[in-house]
Amino acid sequence: MTITGSDTFSGSIANGESETLSLYSETAERLHVLIDDGTTGSPPAEYDLTHRAQPSGGEISRFQFYQDETGRTARSYRFESVGLRTEIEIENVSGGSAEYEIAVIAHE
């Protein structure tokens, strides 16, 4: 497995606020999203995840919606890579502030 790109975030996200990670993914086959909210022994903070892609070829210059996951607590996802660039947005919907460490990794 060859990593072709990545982006990370570490910090607090208030309830109703979001953080967007972005990376080039044209040569990637898959994307892994890893999410850690720092909870130990308690339920993970709930979040919504939105996956957007910018198609390659240059005919579309903005990100297009690809898929979303709502009300989630999963700690990882695996997606197919579908474009030149990828955006992953995580919105905290837990009802309070949460400390997140998030990584998006593209690989062949």
With a cut of 70, list the residues of the chain below it in pLDDT: 57-59
CATH of the domain at 99: 2.60.120.510
Q: What is the pLDDT of residues 90-104, one digit of tens each?
A: 999 999 999 999 999
Range of the domain at 27: 3-107
Q: What is the pLDDT of residue 7?
A: 96
Global pTM reads 0.89
Burial letters 23-57, b for 16+ CB under 10 A, else e: bebbebeebbbebebeeeeeebbbbebbbbbbbee
Number of domains in the chain: 1
Count Cα atoms within 13 angstroms, Cβ side, for 2.
6
Write the DSSP symbol of residue 33.
E
Q: What is the pLDDT of residue 57?
A: 67
Q: Which residue do the tokens 């579309």 mark?
A: 60
Write the DSSP symbol of residue 19.
E
